[in-house]
């Protein structure tokens, strides 16, 4: 890796808009790869995770620890209170500020995360429509079950339905609101504002699912449930945890005694696997992604060097 330590500085002036984006399903090891790239290439990491923006959502989201950062600055972690909603638009605004700051200091922005829509919006691959809140529509939709909402979204925008969390009522309502306002959600493209190298990290499905299972067990045994208890004690409602999804949704149900511990773990593992599949579906649409296994660090760094020097 030491071969790559100094090449970036010498050509920084030619790279004002170059960005490396590390994507892939949950649990594949994106964070480690992003840190390796940033270490080798005088870079800084911009997190692209819709839940890691919130303070206090640490173990459940798999937020990188200071030790794991290995001295590399990370942006868009812990920038919002979990009681508030940090939207995709908020993410784009903060993300572009971070990228500009990194570039202006002659460093390489390394975007890393699994929230595909946020990444596409940040890079200008899709534009975020300015759709106002429709309170009367929201009130009407809130009476429907998640199954009914999902069915409605499938009719309005089948592509969005493929990648959305089908149990997240807040996101379903917003997606329907947007689709009804626009008459569908066309993948509008902004002007291309970055020169992007996409690095995809993947594992064979069986290995990935085993990793998800083991990681979930380790987190549950090492403070994840206590984290959710503490969030609730500090005023984060169970209703809000439902909208935060996955770990927070199912642990909240466990704490409310709606699920046994065993049922919670079973359902949660199943939902995380579904989430990983949705992420794969999203990223497979992007033919510009070059795919690697997480062990292929040197190959990845070679590809990054080629990109940076062009």
* Structure confidence at residue 13 (pLDDT): 36
User: How many Å apart are CA 51 and CA 247, to the nearest integer?
Assistant: 11
**In this predicted structure, what is the pLDDT of residue 274?**
96
How many angstroms separate the Cα of 35 from the Cα of each of 43, 119, 138? Answer: 8, 18, 41
CA angle 165, 115, 239 (to 5 degrees): 45
Task: Report the C-alpha gap between 175 and 153 in whole angstroms.
Answer: 7
- Low-confidence residues of the chain, pLDDT below 50? 1-16
pLDDT for position 194: 92
* Tokens coding 10: 């010498």
pLDDT at 18: 95
Residue 104, pLDDT score: 94
CB 193 within 8 A of CB 17: yes
The CA distance from 292 to 273, in Å, is 20
User: DSSP label at 128?
Assistant: P
Q: How far is CA 132 from the centre of its chain?
A: 24
Listed in sequence order, the residues at least 6 apart from 181 whose beta carbon sits closer than 8 Å to its beta carbon are 129, 131, 132, 134
Note the pTM of the prediction, 2 decimals: 0.85
Strand runs labelled E in 172-293: 195-201, 290-292
């Amino acid at each position: 890796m030491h071969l790559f330590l100094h090449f970036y500085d010498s050509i920084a002036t030619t790279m004002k808009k170059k960005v490396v984006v590390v994507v892939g399903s949950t649990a594949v090891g994106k964070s480690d790869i992003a840190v390796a790239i940033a270490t080798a290439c005088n870079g800084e990491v911009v997190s692209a995770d819709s839940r890691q923006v919130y303070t206090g959502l640490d173990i459940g989201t798999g937020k990188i620890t200071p030790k794991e950062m290995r001295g590399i600055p990370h942006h868009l972690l812990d920038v919002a209170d979990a009681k508030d909603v940090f939207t995709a638009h908020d993410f784009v605004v903060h993300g572009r500020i971070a990228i500009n700051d990194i570039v202006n200091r002659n460093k390489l922005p390394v975007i890393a995360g699994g929230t595909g829509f946020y990444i596409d919006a940040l890079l200008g691959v899709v534009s975020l429509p300015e759709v106002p809140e429709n309170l009367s529509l929201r009130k009407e939709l809130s009476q429907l079950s998640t199954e009914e909402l999902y069915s409605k979204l499938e009719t309005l925008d089948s592509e969005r339905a493929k990648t959305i969390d089908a149990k997240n009522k807040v996101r379903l309502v917003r997606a329907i609101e947007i689709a009804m306002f626009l008459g569908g959600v066309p993948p509008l493209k902004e002007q291309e504002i970055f020169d992007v190298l996409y690095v995809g990290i993947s594992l064979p499905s069986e290995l990935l699912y085993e990793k998800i299972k083991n990681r979930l067990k380790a987190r549950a045994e090492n403070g994840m449930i206590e984290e959710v208890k503490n969030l609730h004690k500090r005023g984060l409602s169970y209703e809000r945890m439902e909208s935060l999804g996955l770990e927070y949704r199912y642990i909240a149900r466990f704490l409310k005694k709606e699920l046994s511990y065993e049922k919670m773990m079973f359902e949660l593992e199943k939902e995380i696997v579904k989430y990983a599949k949705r992420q794969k579906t999203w990223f497979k649409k992007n033919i510009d992604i070059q795919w690697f296994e997480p062990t292929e660090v040197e190959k990845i760094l070679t590809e990054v060097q080629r990109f940076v020097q062009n």
